[in-house]
Amino acid sequence: MDPQTAAQAEEILRDIIIKNPRIVLDDSAVMRSLVSAHDQLRGENIVDLRSVAMKRLETRLDRLEATHRSVIAAAYDNLSGTQQINSAILKFMEPVDFGAFLGVTVKDIPEILRINFACLILETKQQEPDPTLTDLSSVLIPAPTGFVDQYVAPATGQDDLKVTLRSVSSPSAFVYATASGTIASEACLRLDFGAGTLPGLLVLGSQDPNQFSPAQGTDLLTFFGTVYERAVRRWLS
């Protein structure tokens, strides 16, 4: 290659590197060669390539550490959530009568799951209040047939979801009563008590608008709802 052609090639290469420095920085073999040449030709006009390489490496390590922390945090949250669900299940398996079971639902479950509200809603065909449930009226909400679908489906467009997570801008006074002004998100767990029976709904409410979100997974709450559903069947059979 004659001197003029070589000079033109160098100029072209220089322009390419200036416009796309990642070509060099992302190539470990090129960087090693440059660092070696840098050690031999070190002078005032030579950029400290070792520092460039080190900064590049430090940036990658920072990103890796951030990813690692994120994965660890997600794993910890998942483990914590699993432990809370297990503790809640064990708690509502303890009562020996329905009243105590409902007491666990509205008091202990919110404490264990770190939420602010829980209630059980059962659909019924009875027009008049059931006198046997009078003492439980503050913890058990009887609802007309079709209520579960009407309450849950409009927000999702689906009436077959076992668990629905959503933010709440206007909490239902029918569901939350005096707590309706404080609830910002909720989890609705459908309860199926078997063929020939009306459905129910376990509602979990939180003052934190980010506690329950459609973007969250529902595996743990689906499991929780299934076990809770079978526990309720004991008292309804």
Range from 38-47, 90-99, 160-169, 195-204 carrying the lowest mean pLDDT = 38-47
Q: Name the least confident of 47-61, 92-106, 159-173.
A: 47-61
Q: Which range, of 18-27, 111-120, 146-155, averages the lowest pLDDT?
A: 18-27
CA angle 42, 44, 46 (to 5 degrees): 55
Higher pLDDT, 11 or 37: 11
**What's the token pair of residue 70?**
């994120």
* Range 183-201 average pLDDT: 92
Range 218-237 average pLDDT: 89
Ordered by start, the domain boundaries in the chain are 3-65, 83-236
pTM for the complete prediction? Answer: 0.66
- List, for residues 44-64, the tens digit of each pLDDT value: 454 555 666 667 776 776 677
Give the CATH architecture of domain 83-236: 2-Layer Sandwich (3.30)
Q: What's the confidence (pLDDT) of residue 117? A: 94
- Closest by Cα among 150, 149, 168 to 160: 149
Task: State the Cα torsion 79-83-84-90 to the nearest 10°.
Answer: 160
